[in-house]
Structure 1
Amino acid sequence: MSLFGTKLFTWWSGELVGKDGFGNRYFRTKSGHAKRWVIYKGQPEASKVPPEWHAWLHYTTDEAPIHGVEHKPWEKEHLPNLSGTPYAYRPQGSVARGGQRAAATGDYQAWQPE
């Protein structure tokens, strides 16, 4: 379905359920509550959906996390997938980072068949 078609379907049949911290809006059908979907803020990227909303979208839970969920102190904040962006992880020595790999230390011995 095109973006225009999705917006028209949402206007005609959709009921806003909630919004997440990224600005994504979550909907369900007005009658029957059988279908659930998200309209992304900005570029559509599935990894921008936080875990609690992902569970609701995929019918793992019936209750939408409208008021959020209690996070444990050890949990990190949800981040979308940054691969392919300037913020992607590039370890020390990565070619994409422009670095050089550390020189071999000489402590490696290749296996020799007998």
Structure 2
Amino acid sequence: MLFFTKLKFFFKRNKQFVGTDEFGNRYYKFMVNNIEKRLVLYNKKADPTTIPARWHIWLHYTDSKIPQSLSTYKNKHCPNLTGTKHAYHPHFFNI
């Protein structure tokens, strides 16, 4: 029960909305003891593979600029499809 009390306190903090990505994940930042913390609230289920590279860079403090445009990356980010009907299945051949 203590865990959920701490969790509720954590999400009641003053968060500043930063942006969203193409998967609907929302990104926030807030201050704790004069240190900036960053977090992501996932759109549907908590799947870290749905975080695009430019947001991953921002979340892990590699870059302080907030990602805005999609034009810097050539390929569109694709989440991990393992366990879905779109998963890769290699063709097996009998020799």
Q: Unpaired runs of 5+ in structure 2?
A: none
Alignment of 1:3-18 (within 5 A): 5=7, 9-18=10-19
Q: What is the deviation of 1:86?
A: 1.7
How many residue pairs align between the two structures? Answer: 91
Query: What is the root-mean-square deviation in Å for CA atoms of aligned residues?
Result: 2.2
Partner of 2:81: 82
TM-score, normalization: structure 1? 0.68
Q: What is the deviation of 1:13?
A: 2.4
Q: Decide which of 61, 64, 79 is 2:63's aligned counterpart.
A: 61
Q: What is the deviation of 1:12?
A: 2.4
Structure with the greater alpha carbon radius of gyration: 1
Higher relative contact order (CA 8 A, sep 6+): 2
Equivalent pairs: percent with the same residue? 34
Q: What is the deviation of 1:69?
A: 4.1
Identify which range, 24-33 or 40-49, moves more after superposition: 24-33
C-alpha distance in 1 between matches for 2:65 and 2:94: 54
- Against the structure 1 CA distance between its residues 50 and 60, is the aligned structure 2 distance closer, same or farther, given a 3 Å change threshold? same
By percentage of residues, which structure has more strand? 2
